[in-house]
Structure 1
Amino acid sequence: MKLFFIATIALLSYIAIDLVFNQNMWDANTTLTLYLQQNQFDGEKEMFLVFSYSLYVLPSIAGIAFLILDNKLGALLYGGMILFSVASNSLLKNIYHQARPFFIVEEIEPYECNKEFGKPSGHAMTSQAMCFLLPSILFPAIWKDQSNCKYPLHLRLLVIFIITFWTFMTGFSRVFMGVHSFGQIILGWVYQAYISIIYMQYLHDKIVNYLKECLQVGQQGVSIKVISVIGFIVFIWTCISILFLELNRNIFISTSEATLWMEAVYEKCDNQTTLYTIDSPSVLQNICFSMCLYIWFMLSFVFGIKLSKGIYLENEFKQHYKQISYWKKTQRILVLIILISLLIPFYFIKFDAVYAQAFGQVVPVSILGGLFITVVYQKLLNYLKLSIPGDFLQIITNQSSDGIIIERQVKKS
């Protein structure tokens, strides 16, 4: 537990430093952002936009890994941690409820039109989660030799340099674009570093080992007790999210202040045709509250594992996957793409109230996303005869179960 206490003390210390020097960092950032925007070279804006928008590409790595790698559980946990980063960042934004630089500094121009609070930076948190958890969860040999995999030192150093550089440039791009102060960026990095360290050090291996054990042939799957604990966590998280939503709407953020901020969005952002108010679902505390509820994916994921009644034999997938045709591999990809695309229409529904958007859009997408991956996808693969031995939550019959047990006994002997 020594690392836990050190990390916690470091986090609390920086939170205190941030509170004390908040105004100093804000003033220094204003000077920096104005200098960067007023003295940019040709192509600089486009370069920073690439780093900023790359954030939306990296989650696809989780999907690719889930489809072609044997570490399917790792790919899903990696994707789950990205969603947790989004949800925790949104909750923290409602706790801090700090404006973005272009909301209140007249000279700063926004190169991206973000309408929620700015502190801590979501791009800082999620980019760090994506870049550093990717090798930690899917390719752990990057950090430490594994019994079945070792990478040369130069490759390790190259990967570490790339993920560190990419994380830094993603954060710096947000300062240049006028949508974050560097104080908001650094705070995002600090929070995500704490989350990642605690997760990898104390939770990841335990979660993986537990799920692998309860998804063996003859086991009963995830226990009701575990599902109940996660359900309680999600319920408390939702209650806290509602609390800070209402505090911001009725106490911390005044209507006049929110109006000034939304007028800045309306006047400065290209193609912005709507003048939002403090009650608009897609701005400030309202959109932050909605995104807090991506935490519901956690509950849906474990509940779906229970419903699926499938098994997971990680070491058997790789050899069987190599033997199937490219057409069959393509069909497996298309099935997953079709399932995910069924969630897209939810984002085209327009809501006039924040609770309607949160519980009519984000919560259903989170719940259905978890159930699609854990239940529907494997049932479709099984129905279409596209299932492969070793698939995550592979559906088996009593006859195939007996065959798997005999095959494994033969391998052991």
Structure 2
Amino acid sequence: MKFFIISTFALCLYILLDILLNNQMWEANTVLTVYLQDHQFPGEKEIFLFFSYSLFAMPAIALIAFLFFDNKLGALLYACLIQAIFAENSVLKNIYHQARPYFIEDEIQPYECNKEFGKPSGHAMSSSAMCFLVPCIIFPVILKDQSNYKYPYYFRVIIMFIVTAWTFMTGLSRVFMGVHSFGQILLGWVYTAYTIIIYLRYFHTPISNYIKQCLQPGSQGVSSNVIKGVGLFAFGWTCLSILLFEFNNKVFLDESEVEEWLDALYQKCANQTTHYNINSPQVLHNICFSLSLYIWFPFSFLLGIKLSKGIYNENQFSINYKMLNFWQKLSRVLIFLLLLSTLVPIILIQYQNTYAEAFGKVFNILIKKILPTSILSGLIITYIYSQILNYFKLAIEGDFIQISPQLVSTPEGYKASELGQLNF
């Protein structure tokens, strides 16, 4: 409890300092960004673009870990937490509703034309989470000795230096590119630090152990109360997102000021051919509302585990995976990628209404887009993929999730109170 109180107090203190020093940090950032853009050395832009876009390589690490390594559950929990941080960032942006530097500073040029609000930085939040959680969740052996693995101290120092430097360079790249102030970057780092520290200290081990117990042979599966609790949280999050969206739409935002921001986007971005307005679902509070619905991915992840009634033994996968031939291994990968590719048409469809863009619209019923994409992706990774592997006899012992008629978890089980000891 003491650690939680101190961490929360530190977060609140920084938020207060950020509010008090906002104008000074913005002015200093304008000077810094203009200097960086006016005094580039050859190749500097390409270096910063590399770090900015390298963010998208991190999910590939989780994908590789899920497909080829024992710690499949760690890879999936990593994906859940990253999706939750995306949603957290989107809600926070609609709370702060602050412009990006290139929206309002004439001398700052954008090297990437992001269209949503700038505070806190989504790249800062997601990159810091993605970098630091790889050794913490996906490959915990890097930081913690295990019976069959022990890395030297200097190796661990090198790994932490790399992820720290990578996070810093990603943040600096966003300042250089004119799409964030360093105040927005720092705030993003602070929010993510608080989120992952609290999660790792109080939640990760109980959640991980609970799911492993639910997937043991003869276990009782994920409790319906847990599913309902996570679903209720996601529903409440969605209601909060709608509330913030409507407040921005009708109270907080000045339409004439927003039009000036969107004019800057249209005039400064060479590849921007559409002149958006305040109601366009691709910009500002509209897109932030849509992206906040990624919070539904953890719900569908747990729902898929419950529906599968399968088992999981993380210590057996590598041994049995080696027994597969090349074509069996390739088939497993292709099936997974093919299933994920079915989401592409859903993602690519564009609507001109924000609610339709967030929830989708088929026969005038809101069905599609971010919300269903989040739910379907969770079900594909857990339930549908395991069922297809079982059908084609490609499932092996240690899979997440292995479907076996002889060894299954029963439909109903652990109470919500048994999720673990969450002692604050």
Question: TM-score range with shorter-chain normalisation?
Answer: over 0.9
1:329 equivalenced with 2:329 (yes/no)? yes
Q: Distance in 1 between matches of 2:270 and 2:166?
A: 27
Q: Which position in structure 2 is the counterpart of 1:396? A: 404
One-letter amino acid of the structure 2 residue matched with residue 282 of structure 1: Q
Q: Distance in 1 between matches of 2:289 and 2:126?
A: 17
Residue 2 of structure 1, CA deviation: 2.2
Confirm or deny: 8 A CA contact 2:336 2:385 kept in the other structure: yes
Residue 260 of structure 1, CA deviation: 0.6
Structure 1: which 5+ runs fail to align? 403-413
Residue 218 of structure 1, CA deviation: 1.2
Q: Which position in structure 1 is the counterpart of 2:44? A: 44
Q: Distance in 2 between matches of 1:49 and 1:217?
A: 48
Residue 144 of structure 1, CA deviation: 2.7
Greater RCO (CA < 8 Å, at least 6 residues apart): 2
Confirm or deny: 8 A CA contact 1:140 1:146 kept in the other structure: no
Larger helix share, 1 or 2? 1
Q: Distance in 1 between matches of 2:8 and 2:326?
A: 49
Q: Which position in structure 1 is the counterpart of 2:345? A: 345
Q: Distance in 1 between matches of 2:11 and 2:145?
A: 29
One-letter amino acid of the structure 2 residue matched with residue 148 of structure 1: N
Confirm or deny: 8 A CA contact 1:33 1:175 kept in the other structure: yes
Q: Which position in structure 2 is the counterpart of 1:308? A: 308
Q: Which position in structure 2 is the counterpart of 1:34? A: 34
Q: Distance in 1 between matches of 2:326 and 2:269?
A: 46
Residue 401 of structure 1, CA deviation: 6.2
Q: Which position in structure 1 is the counterpart of 2:139? A: 139
One-letter amino acid of the structure 2 residue matched with residue 114 of structure 1: N
One-letter amino acid of the structure 1 residue matched with residue 397 of structure 2: P
1:20 equivalenced with 2:10 (yes/no)? no
1:115 equivalenced with 2:123 (yes/no)? no
Q: Which position in structure 1 is the counterpart of 2:282? A: 282
The CA RMSD measured in Å over matched residues stands at 1.1
Q: Which position in structure 2 is the counterpart of 1:409? A: none
Q: Which position in structure 1 is the counterpart of 2:376? A: 368
Confirm or deny: 8 A CA contact 2:219 2:408 kept in the other structure: no
Q: Which position in structure 1 is the counterpart of 2:94? A: 94
Deviates more, 1:265-274 or 1:311-320: 311-320
Q: Distance in 2 between matches of 1:141 and 1:395?
A: 28
Q: Distance in 1 between matches of 2:408 and 2:290?
A: 43
Structure 1 segments of 4 or more deviating over 4 A? none
Q: Distance in 1 between matches of 2:230 and 2:149?
A: 34
SS at match of 2:316: helix
SS at match of 1:112: coil
Residue 146 of structure 1, CA deviation: 2.5
Q: Which position in structure 1 is the counterpart of 2:359? A: 359
Q: Which position in structure 1 is the counterpart of 2:297? A: 297
Residue 365 of structure 1, CA deviation: 0.5
Q: Which position in structure 1 is the counterpart of 2:57? A: 57
Residue 326 of structure 1, CA deviation: 2.0
1:163 equivalenced with 2:141 (yes/no)? no
Say if 1:388 and 1:149 are closer, same or farther in 2 by CA, change over 3 A.
same
Residue 379 of structure 1, CA deviation: 0.8
Q: Distance in 2 between matches of 1:366 and 1:10?
A: 33
Spell out, residue by residue over 1:187-209, the C-alpha distance to the aligned partner (whole angstroms, 9 max, x if none). 00000000000010000000010
